[in-house]
Amino acid sequence: LTRKYRGNQRDLARAKNAKKQGNDKGKKADDGMSAAARKLRDAEIMQQKQKKANDPKPADEKAK
């Protein structure tokens, strides 16, 4: 491969990736929160999940 070809290949890959990133809006939505606020929100969500996972289930549900 010549250097010119690799440069062209790199440019084509960058263009393809830019197009892909432009169409990919669903993965990372900008919710307008700061990093600290997002971190607090995520921590609360994780605590709720952990609490739900650690809560003992009633005896009648275990028997089923």
pLDDT of residue 11: 85
Summarised one tens digit per residue, pLDDT across range 38-62 is 999 999 999 999 999 998 877 666 5
Per domain, the residue ranges of the chain are: 5-54
First to last CA, the chain: 65
Q: How confident is the model at residue 21 (pLDDT cuts 50, 70, 90)?
A: confident
Rounded distance, CA 37 to CA 48, Å?
A: 17
